[in-house]
Amino acid sequence: MRKVTVAAFGVFLMGGGVSALSLPSQAQTLQEALAAAYLNNPTLQAGRASLRATDESLPQAKDGWRPSISLTGTQGRSNQKIHSTGSSSDNDRTFWSAELSVTQNLYEGGGTEADIEAAEANILSARASLHSTEQSILLQAATAYLDVVRDQAVLELNIQNEARLEKQLEATRDRFEVGEVTRTDVAQAESRVSRARADRIDAKGNLETSKAVYEQIIGEQPNSISAPVIQLELPVNRDDAIALAQQKNPSVVAAEFDHKASVSTIRGEYADLLPSLDLSGSLSRSRNTSLDDRTTDDATVTATLTVPLYQQGAAHSEVREAKQSAAQAAREIDEARRSSIESAASGWETFQSSLAQIAAFEDEVRATTIALEGVEQEAAVGSRTVLDVLDAEQELLDARVSLVQSKRDELVARFELLSAVGGLTARDLDLPVSLYDEKKYYNDVKDQLWGIGEETEGEGPLSPVFR
């Protein structure tokens, strides 16, 4: 891995003829935008809540190690009337009872241990899935930011082009008045102004669309955006990218823990076929006024051994099902690794091709700039027409817009490559935020014996930290 400082937009904006209008002095940086997405994006917040819900599977799995305690009380009254020949009796009585019972499992074939191992693996898989969600959101946020910067630059280029063509139209009309050019030349200049106006309107619409996407993902309006400068730790070559992806890609990590959980589930299901031993005890007191107002105390301790002989075939089927689920999970590891290899390889190639495109478009901008200057000089002496000048100006505009787009594509390719190798997280990017502690809720509840918690418990404070 190598650290690369991304500052390409600042370079191309200056080289592409965009004025300081696109670079406000008090602007939101890329790091601040990514930090805002990290703090505010509802999809990421939902992913954190999902992880906390998965954390609860561990204390639930531990219930096999813990006793079950219950207190039962009853109270009643009865009236019995007996009629016989020559006599009758009326028996009115009250009664009550209370019982405290405790049941503790001593052995259940290792089922609790297997359930705990499966829960731990599922929690680690959920953490990897949260990292995948975090990477996806930060990639979307970076792309949205770069789209706004690109569209600002394209709009500025179109504004400048429209202003330049309007001056060209005025000059052409003046030359027409003195007979230097024809009415056709004026019409051609008017046509290009109209096209430039339409392009400027289209560019503004694209910018507004990008701003809407930005607000959706990041949760704030892009009131002022600066050219991005951020350090990205990229792979040094294609092989390095592929190796990192197979080790750190969150999808691969999640698949590996899913397989581990499925193997533990096999042992958990098999435990249902083994004997179980429970120890139970109870203390009770009862009183019945019809029996000389007698109070009875009772204490009982019972050991229960259960040996399953036949369970209608369901338990055996569940073991077979768990084995097939584990086989499926193993194949999904292979699929995740292949997918990560493809993402890393294609990401690297896209990154390299984007660098080549930038170089090509920079050459085109230089060439079209020289060509425009030459055509304008030749038009001044009458060897070139107004249409030739207009065509040269359009070619220069197209080259500059293509360069802007290629710069944006190259930066997005960097972020996509970083995501493929598992390095696009708030921690890796050193964003100015307090990082979400994915272990805090886990540590709080893993041995918790009671308490129902709060709806948003575990979110913790998330706020910007400006360094």
Per run of 10 residues, the mean pLDDT along the chain (length 467 residues) is 52 42 55 92 94 94 91 84 68 84 92 94 96 96 95 94 89 86 90 93 96 93 80 91 94 96 94 93 85 80 92 91 95 95 95 94 94 89 85 92 94 95 93 92 88 64 45
The Cα–Cα gap between 103 and 280 comes to 4
- The whole-angstrom separation of Cα 367 and Cα 363 is 6
Domain annotation covers residue 49: yes
Does residue 408 fall inside a structural domain?
yes
pLDDT of residue 59: 94
Provide the residue range defining the domain that includes 382: 2-65+113-262+330-445
Nearest partner of 48 among 457, 431, 427, 421, judged by Cα: 457
* Cβ atoms of 254 and 132 closer than 8 Å: yes
Residue 349 lies in a domain: yes
**Is residue 269 assigned to a domain?**
no
| Orientation angle between helical segments 250-270 and 238-248, nearest 10 degrees | 30
> Could you give the number of structural domains in the chain?
1
Q: How far, in Å, CA of 298 to CA of 72, rounded?
A: 14
Residue 95 within any structural domain of the chain = no
d(CA 412, CA 426): 17
Reduced DSSP (H G I as helix, E B as strand, rest coil) percent helix, strand, coil of the chain, to 5 = 65, 15, 20
Six token digits for residue 326 = 């584990």
CATH code at 141? 1.20.1600.10
Question: Considering the entire predicted model, what is its pTM?
Answer: 0.84
Q: Within a domain: residue 206?
A: yes
Predicted local confidence at residue 289, as pLDDT: 72
Q: Which residues pair with 295 in a beta bridge?
A: 287
Q: Which two tokens stand for residue 404?
A: 């802007």
CA distance 143 to 409: 9
Residue 17 forms part of a structural domain: yes
311 inside domain: no
- Residue tagged 């569209």 (tokens): 151
142's enclosing H/E stretch is helix 111-177
